[in-house]
Structure 1
Amino acid sequence: MLRIVAKAVFAFVFISSAYILFGFVYRYYQRSLKFLRGPPRSSLLLGNDYQTIHQEEVNAIESKWFNEYGTAFRTSSCYGEDALMVADPRALQYVLHTSGYRFPKTKDSQQITRMISGRGILWAEGEVHNRHRKVLNPAFSAAQLRQFLSLFQRSTARLTNKWKEEGLDGSVVNVTKWLPKITLDVIGESAFDYKFGALDGHANELGEILKHMFADSRLYPQTWIVLYRAFRRSLPSPLSDFLCRFPTKEETRFKKFSDASKKVAKSVFRTAAEETNGQEDSKGSKDVLSVLLRSNLAVDPKKALDEDEVLSQMATIMLAGHETTASTTAWMLFALTKSPKDQQMVYAEIRDVRARVGVDAELTASDYDSMPFFNAVIKEVLRLHPIVPTLARQAGTDDSIPLEFPIITESGEEISQIPVSKGQRIILSIATYNRLTQVWGDDANEWNPERFMLDSKKKTALGVYANLMTFSAGVRACIGWRFAIMELQAILFGLLEKFEFSPPPGGLNDIQRVPAGLMIPMKKNNWQEGVQMPLYIKARE
């Protein structure tokens, strides 16, 4: 028996080594991007992947490359593979918007997404994605979302009251401990009529898993894991999917979240299904849960979701609907803490609106939209601190990607089109585009909310909000972007109305934007403390 196992292991190792060697030689001599300039390969096996994955600050390395090579260039991946790295506006528009579904997610992106949240809208491609989006669209319309403003305001008020009750007024508070609680409670109640009770201290499995999901004791993957993932994505889909049954430690954390979120989702969904008694909601409610219930009962295959797809949508919304908003709010408070003058300007607008609508009145969407500098601050935070810094795509067919800003090739030729072969991996740099000087001006790397108060026209319109790439663009743009903006408005208003935020002793210069799947704040040389955004809070009189 042992001999058989040993032979099987030897055969696997031999075939794998031969496959890697063949792939390396083939890619080295057949690279479709060899005519482009790019950074030198730092490792024969790892290419530049190890550098970018293990950098301490989001986009620190890539920004230097973009400055040297232009808005598009070649970078090296594992086993001799080349990737196209892009931040050019027209190229991003072409890949994400103009081309529809011709540039799907890469195989490894799809696999990781499925591990985290299952067969939901983030995982789906092509017609399946189109079906998912059509089902969910009614739940994320502007009119539908406005009804949740009251919930956003009440939840923020509960947070400020909690800080006062626990005697945190006049002390340093790690806001990353509190913000995910309020956003988890909000997404549970608004989307699924489910009370997590996170802000009230109720223990919940999801919250505990999320604490360590993107940052644990080993933040960065070891070399063998980087190579294993690259090997896995290079295999034919059946073999690649089979190897996903042997997850890494990080992927095991993802799977734990998926299992826990689906467990909650199944309980909520089945309770709701029993209450409707297997009948479609005659009132045509458009909240997420009602929409999903109807889709599960639908006869028309173009409008139907099976139970696993429904549970996957719920898991997706639980994660994307609270973790990203909580992180963005943390960076928003960080930015305003470092710029007390701007914090005071935002507070002045808040005070004026409160005087106009009344002390106890609930604000409307129009009230929030009436504050120009307040909204400019939100846009500037989304620009400078995109929670998802990059997106990975691959060419579905041979194609040619247009550029707004021409680049210089290895031979010195200026080109404004980049031909790509089917299967070519493309890394879309959201973080770089959001700071591109050609788009945002010479002060693109600086905090300046007032840029959004100027009536400046951009050559190429991108994204779904303020010409930003933070919510992506095109057919795969974030379906919940309006929800996120409304929630950010309500939380920012509620927190700044009640509290003033200042730097802690020692300041905030040691806070790093760490790439860990999502962009998370951590203290330099103190990552063992976990996610950190310590701010001094003082109640306003």
Structure 2
Amino acid sequence: MFHVSSFWLAPAITATPATAIVLAIQAKRTLHPLALAPGLGISVWHALKVTWVVAFLGYRVVWRSFIFPIYFSKLRNIPTVPGVPLLGQFVTIISRECGVPQRRWHRKHGPIIRYYFPFGSERLSVADDALLKYITVTDPYNFPKPARAAQWMQRILGKGILLAEGRNHALQRKALTYGFSTQSIYELMAAFWEKSLLLGDILRQQMEDAGETTRSIEVLEWANRCTLDIIGRAGFGIEIDCLRDQHAPIRVAYQKVFNFGFFSRALHGLQAFFPWSKHLKSQMNRDMEDAQKIILDKATEVITARIEGSKNSKSSRGKDILALMAEENLRLETQGKPAMSKETMRDQVMTFLGAGHDTTATALVWTLHLLSIHPKIQTRLRDEIRQYMPYLFDKDCRHDPVKLDMVNPDALPYLNNVCREALRYIPPIPMTVREVRNEFTFGDYTIPAGTIIYILANAINRLEYFWGETADDFDPDRWDKLPETAGTNAFMTFLQGPRGCVGRKFAETEMKVLLCSLLSIFEFERDYQTPDPERW
């Protein structure tokens, strides 16, 4: 029986007869059960609740999980991964490296596949060249990020170019293009070299102080500290100094964001689907709030100083990306054209700080891992670096600014190939997700609004119908003789088109400089006392 709080109708004694009758009837309806069957007493509200639960389960389990996806969905003609829609392939997906199950399904079922999340929720994975071009180049703003996923990421990355959509994204990209041009990146080379060489010097000094010739280190931690220092100097003209101070506030903030246990990871993922869960009183949410405040305060401090600086004489302006962005924004304002607000520029700083350091560090570490298990490739790359930059191998000359100023990392062909191949083989961002805004037709398929589409670089980058029979091999030489099928959309590490990574040249150059610095000092071998990171 459904119990409610009892109340006595004492006011009915002094009320008018009509009022007393109405109140009495209402009280009777509330307090006395309605007999639905002999011997069974149940309140109306209880019956309604049971009916609602049964109806909801019937809708989710019978209609949405079986009847609709199999017989009525507009996506039903798309090749579908075998399985029960009620459960879907969710467990398989979350228990494997991102993109690996879809890679296997594409090989078996073709370039456009449908699979299920629990309760018949349909998902598409796309690896078709023409459809990828349509999504990324032809009509990119018809495929925004799902709103819940964007809200989850905004807490740390702000509403910068990574999460902006439509006209706002186009405006932001236009304002950022000059700062991320090839020429602008080359002018930042001194900052790249300074921090990359410092990383090598610190690691070598630690080994010398300990009297060691071999040491096992957690490279990712050091790589993150170095790339955060680089984005601080080259991106914003500030010193974060994580390499010398592991307790630098901004670094501690990102450690709270990215380093957490199983329960926190589960809650982190839950927030993409249930935004209210970010208000739960968990350690992860407290850490996220602390980190968000530190990052937001730093971004506000940086952008305020830079906006003021951009209004001064030209000689006082720096060459960092933020200075160029502020200068371009001021030019647009003076011409009466749409420009970014202070808040939008602040969000760009948040985006560059978060996405700009972690992805490059991850790419660097995966490259070192691949070189450690392919020693011949590592030796060949080191020999090329020695040929082009012999002074890097001399402890007394490696910091010579004149020599470093003459260096162009893009001039090393094998270095280019190694970096491209590492980024293809293990992309640091293995996927992106999009939601269809307006229904569209592709060939025989009708894709309705609201459809969730995954573009999985970790699947596309290693499919045989793009890369040939050696798609699963780590082979830098492939870039000297690519098959005709390996077109633009076969390499989705940075996406393509207007939504492609605006910082691609920055990341690639940074990665090359870091490799030159480290390989001129160290030889890398895999520590077989630790689990193989490629095997889950």
Query: TM bucket by the smaller chain?
Result: 0.7 to 0.9
Greater strand share, 1 or 2?
A: 1
Partner SS for 2:523: strand
Partner SS for 2:514: helix
Match of 2:343 in 1: 308
Kindly indicate whether the alpha-carbon contact (under 8 Å) linking 1:115 and 1:251 is maintained by their aligned counterparts in 2.
no
Identity of aligned residues (%): 25
Match of 2:378 in 1: 343
Match of 1:34 in 2: 76
Kindly indicate whether the alpha-carbon contact (under 8 Å) linking 1:135 and 1:291 is maintained by their aligned counterparts in 2.
no
Match of 1:496 in 2: 519
Higher mean C-alpha displacement, 204-213 vs 313-322 = 204-213
CA RMSD of aligned residues (A): 3.4
> How far has the Cα of 1:500 moved from its partner?
1.1
2: distance between equivalents of 1:229 and 1:267?
29
- How big is each residue's C-alpha offset from its partner over 1:368-424, in whole Å with a ceiling of 9 and x where there is no partner? 22222221111110001111111111222121235xxxxxxxxxxxxxx43201121
- Within 5 A, what are the aligned runs for 1:78-117? 78-117=118-157
| Equivalent AA in structure 1 for residue 77 of structure 2 | F
Structure 1: runs of 5+ lacking an equivalent: 4-9, 233-240, 403-416, 515-523, 525-541
Match of 1:62 in 2: 102
Higher mean C-alpha displacement, 20-29 vs 181-190 = 20-29
2: distance between equivalents of 1:245 and 1:189?
35
2: distance between equivalents of 1:14 and 1:323?
50
- How big is each residue's C-alpha offset from its partner over 1:187-244, in whole Å with a ceiling of 9 and x where there is no partner? 001111111110002522332232343341116855x9877754x5xxxxxxxx7776
Match of 1:386 in 2: 427
> How far has the Cα of 1:498 moved from its partner?
1.3
2: distance between equivalents of 1:16 and 1:221?
30
| Equivalent AA in structure 2 for residue 472 of structure 1 | L
Larger radius of gyration: 2
2: distance between equivalents of 1:149 and 1:400?
46
The counterpart of 2:495, out of the listed 437, 453, 472, is: 472
2: distance between equivalents of 1:80 and 1:281?
59
The counterpart of 1:133, out of the listed 173, 178, 181, is: 173
Match of 1:190 in 2: 234
Kindly indicate whether the alpha-carbon contact (under 8 Å) linking 1:163 and 1:169 is maintained by their aligned counterparts in 2.
no
40 and 229 in structure 1: CA distance in 2 versus 1, 3 angstrom threshold = farther
Partner SS for 2:469: coil
2: distance between equivalents of 1:260 and 1:154?
26
251 and 18 in structure 1: CA distance in 2 versus 1, 3 angstrom threshold = farther
Match of 2:194 in 1: 154
Partner SS for 1:116: helix
Higher mean C-alpha displacement, 61-70 vs 177-186 = 61-70
Indicate the structure whose relative CO is greater, using CA pairs within 8 Å and at least 6 residues apart.
1
The counterpart of 1:446, out of the listed 470, 473, 476, is: 473
The counterpart of 1:174, out of the listed 218, 227, 232, is: 218
Kindly indicate whether the alpha-carbon contact (under 8 Å) linking 2:431 and 2:458 is maintained by their aligned counterparts in 1.
yes
Kindly indicate whether the alpha-carbon contact (under 8 Å) linking 2:240 and 2:250 is maintained by their aligned counterparts in 1.
no
1: distance between equivalents of 2:432 and 2:511?
23
Structure 2: runs of 5+ lacking an equivalent: 6-45
> How far has the Cα of 1:301 moved from its partner?
7.3
206 and 31 in structure 1: CA distance in 2 versus 1, 3 angstrom threshold = farther
74 and 140 in structure 1: CA distance in 2 versus 1, 3 angstrom threshold = same
> How far has the Cα of 1:504 moved from its partner?
2.4
The TM-score, its normalising length taken from structure 1, stands at 0.78
> How far has the Cα of 1:119 moved from its partner?
1.4
1:213 aligned to 2:257?
yes
1:318 aligned to 2:347?
no
1:289 aligned to 2:322?
yes
Kindly indicate whether the alpha-carbon contact (under 8 Å) linking 1:262 and 1:315 is maintained by their aligned counterparts in 2.
yes
1: distance between equivalents of 2:219 and 2:128?
35
Kindly indicate whether the alpha-carbon contact (under 8 Å) linking 2:192 and 2:234 is maintained by their aligned counterparts in 1.
no
> How far has the Cα of 1:282 moved from its partner?
8.1
1: distance between equivalents of 2:333 and 2:282?
38
Partner SS for 2:306: helix
Partner SS for 1:188: helix
Alignment length (residue pairs) = 475
The TM-score, its normalising length taken from structure 2, stands at 0.79
Partner SS for 1:387: coil
